[in-house]
């Protein structure tokens, strides 16, 4: 009985750890998307200031070009994070399923298990805007 309680605690910890990872990745993606939006505003203002909005024009603002490069780099990072997010969500689902199995097995055997915090679903998909 003691080992099953330890196993339950371990799996609950794993579920919470994965849930934290998913939330952190969601936050980072959201933060980066906000930065890309801000960069786009800065580019627009710079283009209005200089009167040149054609990237290939010889007189295009170097400031706007550098902001575009930074924005493109962040978009690549967002894409990479989206892959990590999908992987982390899949791992979370696996851990939650494993925890449910162990809890059901313990209940089936008539063992008293300590009440666990209810498993909350992770925020549904995030909009990755690239």
Whether residue 12 is contained in a domain is answered as yes
pLDDT of residue 110: 72
pLDDT of residue 113: 57
Whether residue 28 is contained in a domain is answered as yes
Give the pTM: 0.75
Residues of the chain with pLDDT under 70: 1-2, 111-130
Give, rounded to a whole angstrom, the gap between the first and last alpha carbons of the chain. 51
Whether residue 47 is contained in a domain is answered as yes
Provide the number of structural domains found in the chain.
1
Whether residue 7 is contained in a domain is answered as yes
Whether the Cβ atoms of residue 20 and residue 118 lie closer than 8 Å to each other: no
Whether residue 119 is contained in a domain is answered as no
Whether residue 50 is contained in a domain is answered as yes
Quick one: 64 exposed, middle or buried, by C-beta within 10 A (0-12, 13-18, 19+)?
buried
Q: What DSSP character marks residue 57?
A: S
| Domain membership of residue 70 as a residue range | 2-108
- Please tell me the distance from the alpha carbon of residue 17 to that of residue 27, in angstroms, as a whole number: 15
């Amino acid at each position: 009985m003691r080992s099953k309680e330890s196993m339950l605690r371990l799996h609950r910890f794993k579920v919470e750890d994965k849930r934290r990872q998913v939330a952190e990745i969601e936050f980072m993606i959201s933060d980066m998307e906000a930065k890309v939006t801000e960069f786009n505003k800065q580019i627009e203002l710079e283009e209005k200031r200089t009167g040149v909005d054609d990237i290939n024009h010889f007189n295009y603002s170097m400031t706007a070009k550098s902001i575009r490069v930074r924005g493109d780099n962040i978009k690549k990072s967002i894409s990479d994070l989206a892959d990590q997010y999908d992987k982390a969500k899949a791992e979370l689902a696996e851990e939650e399923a494993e925890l449910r199995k162990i809890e059901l097995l313990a209940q089936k055997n008539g063992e008293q298990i300590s009440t666990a915090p209810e498993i909350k679903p992770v925020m549904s998909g995030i909009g990755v805007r690239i």
